[in-house]
Amino acid sequence: MQYIDNILFAVLLIFGIGFFVRNIKKLKRNIFLGKDLDRSDKKSERWANMTLIALGQSKMVRRPVAGILHIVVYLGFIIINIEVVEIIIDGLFGTHRAFSFMGGLYSFLIGSFEILAGLVLVSVIVFWIRRMILRIPRFWNKEMKGFPKNDALYILYFEMVLMSLFLIMNATDVPFQETNAGNPISQFVAILFHGIGHDTLHLIEMIAWWIHIIGIFIFLNYLYYSKHLHILLAFPNTFYANLNPKGQFPNDKNVTKEVQMMMDPNVDSFAAAPEGAEDEVPEKFGASDVVDLNWVQLMNAYTCTECGRCTSVCPANITGKELSPRAIMMKTRDRVEEVGKNIDQNKGEFKDDGKQLLNDYITPEELWACTSCNACVEECPVNIDPLSIIMDMRRYLVMEQSAAPQELNMMMTNIENNGAPWQYSQMDRLNWKDE
């Protein structure tokens, strides 16, 4: 019976990681429901971007308070995870503080973890205050009701509990406290447990230890369902982000082919389609559902952590319009999740559910409110591009449905007829020089 703890731990570990791997596979499958897009060029620039923006958090500090606190939590998260390695070894082999043979170095490491845990705890509490007491507006937009709001709070509570448990388990570890090394924070936490017998303390330590590691497994598996997925996806997302000037919108290659045919005097546009081409399904212009978007756009949606910086700088949103770039990303993720579930339920094939991203999630009113100013793209700390989704969906509205607002139809008719968005004759284009 003496190995029961270790077996129990091994089972937990296998399930925790196994379930996580399963979800990652599903995540990958869903992202690649999107269309191909080649972003394999300029590798060195991409590595540099990822290092600077994801690893270095360079865009976070554009807002210094949130940015610096975030860096604390992020560093804490990465560095304290070294401790998880020890916890797993202890759990599997029944050792106690397997790394303590390192002596002074061990004390230094654990001491650093404790300080970080303390800082993370403080930061997370400040985050909670910013959300719930100061009620910073970007956390209270209308898309932040229900799960998105609670999701953010669950994450904060998770982190508070995990950090507290880490400190408690150190504080109640009597031999560890007796060495009085590597316990800069937990020695103060230990005061709370003053006067409790050693056996009880050991019991508290064991309970804290177990809840802590179980909490980590739960948190790991919560990621897929949560905005917290950004801790993983921020890296590929910044790596595969657009490197062209932000004003450069992609030219649709299929359109280019058609326009070239039209403009080529040698092409007989009334000729019958070439052999075999009759059956080809004509390419759909623009996007009305998530499968019309490319995989980077879908990865963007899963990467979004709903911080709302984009929405807080969006000129349309600031002036009370329906459009919120964050909501564009959230709705895209909700829809791709729905499509993914549909595929899972129908033996790997998508069964038409009568819904699509357009109208059922994102309305034309939102799409037409965008000024294409790129403020959202510039602001995103992990280089998400909501604008590209908006533009692809406008393309569908106009090219597949001719559903532009009336004034825009007039503008386009003018361009078509007289080469200017207004109704002036092209022959008058130089009149300004004599006025």
Q: Which range touches another protein (CB under 8 A), out of 171-179, 187-195, 207-215, 374-382?
A: 374-382
Contact indicator for 166, 117 with CB cutoff of 8 Å: yes
Q: Which range touches another protein (CB under 8 A), out of 119-127, 184-192, 244-252, 292-300?
A: 244-252
**Which residue's CB is nearer to another protein, number 81 or number 256?**
256
Q: How far is the CB of 221 from another protein (least distance, A)?
A: 38
CA neighbours within 13 Å on the CB side: how many for 125? 9
How far CA 376 is from CA of 122, 297, 381, in Å, comes to: 29, 14, 10
- By CB under 8 A, residue 267 contacts another protein: no
What is the C-alpha to C-alpha distance for residues 112 and 396, in angstroms, rounded to an integer? 54
25 phi and psi angles, rounded to 5 deg: -65, -40
Q: How far is the CB of 293 from another protein (least distance, A)?
A: 15
- By CB under 8 A, residue 180 contacts another protein: no
**Which residue's CB is nearer to another protein, number 223 or number 370?**
370
- By CB under 8 A, residue 37 contacts another protein: no
Here's the x/- map for another protein, 343-362, by CB under 8 A: it reads as --------------------
Q: How far is the CB of 310 from another protein (least distance, A)?
A: 13
What is the C-alpha to C-alpha distance for residues 7 and 91, in angstroms, rounded to an integer? 9
- By CB under 8 A, residue 365 contacts another protein: yes
- Whose structure tokens read 């591009």? 385
35 phi and psi angles, rounded to 5 deg: -70, 160
Here's the x/- map for another protein, 282-321, by CB under 8 A: it reads as ---xx--------------------------x-xx-xxxx
- By CB under 8 A, residue 435 contacts another protein: yes
Contact indicator for 261, 267 with CB cutoff of 8 Å: yes
- By CB under 8 A, residue 410 contacts another protein: yes
Vertex 52: Cα angle to 50 and 58 (nearest 5)? 125
- Tell me if residue 35 falls in helix, strand or coil: strand
**Which residue's CB is nearer to another protein, number 160 or number 411?**
411
- Whose structure tokens read 């003496």? 2
Q: Which range touches another protein (CB under 8 A), out of 174-182, 226-234, 342-350, 375-383?
A: 375-383
* Sign of the dihedral defined by the CA atoms of residues 285, 287, 292, 294, in that order: positive
The full DSSP string for 104-121 is: HHHHHHHHHHHHHHHHHH
Contact indicator for 287, 393 with CB cutoff of 8 Å: yes
**Which residue's CB is nearer to another protein, number 116 or number 397?**
397
Helices (H), 32-63: 43-49
- By CB under 8 A, residue 1 contacts another protein: no
- By CB under 8 A, residue 142 contacts another protein: no
Q: Give exposure, 84-94, as e/b (b: 16+ Cβ within 10 Å).
A: eebbbebbeee
Residue 271 CB burial class (10 angstroms; 0-12, 13-18, ≥19): exposed
What is the C-alpha to C-alpha distance for residues 106 and 108, in angstroms, rounded to an integer? 5
- By CB under 8 A, residue 399 contacts another protein: yes
Q: How far is the CB of 362 from another protein (least distance, A)?
A: 14
- By CB under 8 A, residue 422 contacts another protein: yes
**Which residue's CB is nearer to another protein, number 88 or number 399?**
399
Please identify which residue in 199, 278, 349, 416 interacts with another protein, judged by CB under 8 A. 416
- By CB under 8 A, residue 42 contacts another protein: no
Rg of the chain over all Cα atoms, to the nearest angstrom? 28
Q: How many residues touch another protein (CB under 8 A)?
A: 68
Residues 246-265, interacting with another protein (CB under 8 A):
246-249, 251-252, 255-256, 258-260, 262-263
**Which residue's CB is nearer to another protein, number 66 or number 213?**
66
Q: Which range touches another protein (CB under 8 A), out of 19-27, 128-136, 274-282, 407-415?
A: 407-415
What is the C-alpha to C-alpha distance for residues 228 and 129, in angstroms, rounded to an integer? 19
Nearest alpha carbon to residue 288 among 173, 183, 393, 378 = 393
**Which residue's CB is nearer to another protein, number 84 or number 136?**
136
**Which residue's CB is nearer to another protein, number 194 or number 433?**
433
User: Quick one: tokens of 200?
Assistant: 């009880």
| Interface ranges with another protein (CB under 8 A) | 244-249, 251-252, 255-256, 258-260, 262-263, 285-286, 313, 315-316, 318-323, 365, 368-375, 377-378, 391, 394-399, 404-405, 407-408, 410-412, 415-416, 419-422, 424, 426-435
